[in-house]
A = this chain, B = another copy of it.
Amino acid sequence: MTREPKGNPVVLDAAARAVLQIFWDKSDEARALDEMRCPVRDILDRVGDKWTLLILIALSRAPQRFSALQRAIGDISKRMLTQSLRTLERDGLVSRQVFPTKPPSVEYALTAMGESSLVPVVALVSWASAHHDAIRASRRLYDTLETAPL
């Protein structure tokens, strides 16, 4: 069995690969320390929150109020919207301002840091739209093979 020499096609340059080393660093020592959790895991817990990125994108054009956000995203429950916004606020990506109108309205906006997070988000969305067709094709193929009669 001549296994191909391990290694993937080269797409990333050395600097880019170095960035991903952060992930492996944590494996060595910082595993137990929550305080010193590697940024990868820490931030991926946010990004890995289904709604976080959606909220960031929804706020990318302009500040929005709570219910406008809910309408924009569509299928998010109030509960998760509240929770995600709180987390985002705590992390300093989103600001929350209450206007003492008759029924008080609350406006959420990206902070400077939140705005800066859009840069990688755009990269992600670009990649997603560029490969969406290929992915859907791959899924169809996979499902066909799985369902295929023996």
Q: What residues of chain A have their CB less than 8 Å away from a CB belonging to chain B?
A: 1, 3, 6-9, 11-12, 16-17, 19-20, 22-24, 27, 31, 39-45, 47-54, 57-63, 72, 74, 89-93, 99, 107, 109-110, 112-113, 115-129, 131-132, 134-135, 137-139, 142-143
Contacts and interface: CB of A to CB of B under 8 A. Distances in A.
A6 B59 CA distance: 11
A27 to B, nearest CB: 7
* Interface of A: prevailing SS: helix
20 contacts: A3-B99, A6-B63, A8-B109, A9-B115, A12-B122, A16-B118, A20-B57, A20-B60, A22-B129, A23-B54, A40-B57, A43-B131, A44-B50, A90-B143, A91-B138, A116-B131, A117-B127, A120-B120, A120-B124, A123-B123
Nearest to A107: B3
A110 B9 CA distance: 9
Nearest to A101: B1
Contacts of A62: 6-8
